[in-house]
Each structure stands twice: as structure tokens, then as C-alpha cells.
Amino acid sequence: MKPKDTTAIRKRTQIAMANRIMFSWVAGASVLFGFALVAAIFLAQMLLFNEKVLHEKDVTVSILKSNYDSIKPLEAQIRVLDTDQALIDSKANPTDNAVQVILDALPSEANSLALGSSLQKKLLEPVTGLSIESISINPVVGIETLDNNSTMSVVSDVAGAQNFISFNIAVSGTRDSIKQMLINLERSIRTIDVVSITIENQSTTGADGQASDHILVKVQGQAFYEPVRIVELKDKTVK
């Protein structure tokens, strides 16, 4: 073999080895770059996730702090209400707190039977000269149901349902008794909204042959209630 051929073969071998070394370096650098890129993306995602978690924690802390700061002013207002003479005079039971009157005025449940009993016993029957012709209480749609035994029961608590109980009453009596009945409705501790009133004059003749004027009044109204608000801490998943 000639010296020139030997030199050429040696050069080719060196070039091939250099190419393999260069390929190894490039492949190794690519692998390291890939790992670094994946690690950078993972760290960026973790950073963004931690920022979301910290933001939700800040919101929770802000709400708790606001609620805590509202406790003392609320306690002060309740203490003032406990000394309100109008509330004290309206207590259903002497042992109740004065604030209980407010809770009674806006019950937390749609108890239509209790409303009917209150209308009859507290507002209508005590009026002298007033005769109750009829009282009808409509069950709250989606909340109450009336079974065959005329027993009212709560069937569900539908979100966004109407927060009032509609009723219809028909009474008859003298002008003074009707006036007193309307005053009782106005002064009731229950929140009552009179939707419509129909008044009819009725002339009757007594045993002595003298005519007397009686008035028939039909009242359509609504009594309101406010469902209980439940305050509780919950777990929130941050994505």
C-alpha cells in the first residue's frame, strides 16, 4: 500500500470519529435542553398554580376579616333593639327577647297553617262585631303540600322559590269592626301586604224590624317569610 493511500485512510477515520463525537455532543445537548425546557414549563405551571391558591386564600381571609369586623357593630345594634319598648310590648311570650319579635315577624319557614291560625286568633276573632265568613291559605308552590287530612307539610326547599304565602279572607261586620280589622292587619308583627280589598254593603233587618248596615269585606293578601341562611366553611378546588 502506498504511503498516500495510508494517509487518506487515516484522515477519513479521523473525520468519521470527529463526526461521531460531534453527533454525541449534539444529541446530549438536545436531551439536556429538552429536560431543561420541560422543567421550566413545570415550574412555570407550579408558579401560576401557587399564585391562584394564594389569591383564593387572600379572598377568604378578606371575607373572614370583614365578617369579624361586623360582629361588634351587630352586637351593639342587637343590644339597642333589646331595649326598644315597641318590640318589648309586642313580645308573644314574656320570657322572649325583644329581638324575637323581629324573627317572628319574618319566619324562616313557609308555615301556612301557622299563618292561618295567627290571622284567625290574633287579628280577626278579637275584633268585636266581626264575623269570619271564610279564611283560605294557599300552600307555597314547590315548598308545601296539602294531604287528604288537610295537613300541611314542607316537601322541598326550592332555590329561588317565592318567599310569600298568599291568603284570602272574607269577613262581615259594622264599619267600626271592619276598620279595626284593617288596623290589626296594618299593625301585625307579620309582614303582610294587602293585594286587593273588595267591599260590599249589606243591609239586614233585625228582629225589631230596624235595618242595619253590615259590610262584607274580601281581602287578598300575602305574608312573607325568609328562608334560613346557612353560613359554613367549604373546601374549594383550585384548578
Which fold does the domain 109-224 belong to in CATH?
Answer: Alpha-Beta Plaits (3.30.70)
Of 212 and 97, more confident:
97
User: In the structure, what pLDDT confidence band is assigned to residue 221 with cuts at 50, 70 and 90?
Assistant: very high
For the chain, give the mean pLDDT. 81
Distance (Å, whole) CA 70 – CA 82:
19
Place of cell 235595618: 211
Q: Where are the domains positioned within the chain?
A: 1-81, 109-224
Place of cell 259594622: 174
Whose CA is closest to 165, among 115, 104, 105, 101?
A: 115
Kindly report, residue by residue over 93-150, the tens digit of the pLDDT. 778 888 888 877 888 888 888 888 889 988 999 999 899 999 998 888 777 765 544 4
Pairing verdict, β 130-137 and 164-173? antiparallel
Distance (Å, whole) CA 112 – CA 132:
18
- Segment 29-53 shows an average pLDDT of 88
Kindly report, residue by residue over 45-100, the tens digit of the pLDDT. 899 988 888 898 898 889 889 988 998 898 898 888 888 888 888 777 778 888 88
User: In the structure, what pLDDT confidence band is assigned to residue 3 with cuts at 50, 70 and 90?
Assistant: low
Distance (Å, whole) CA 129 – CA 126:
9
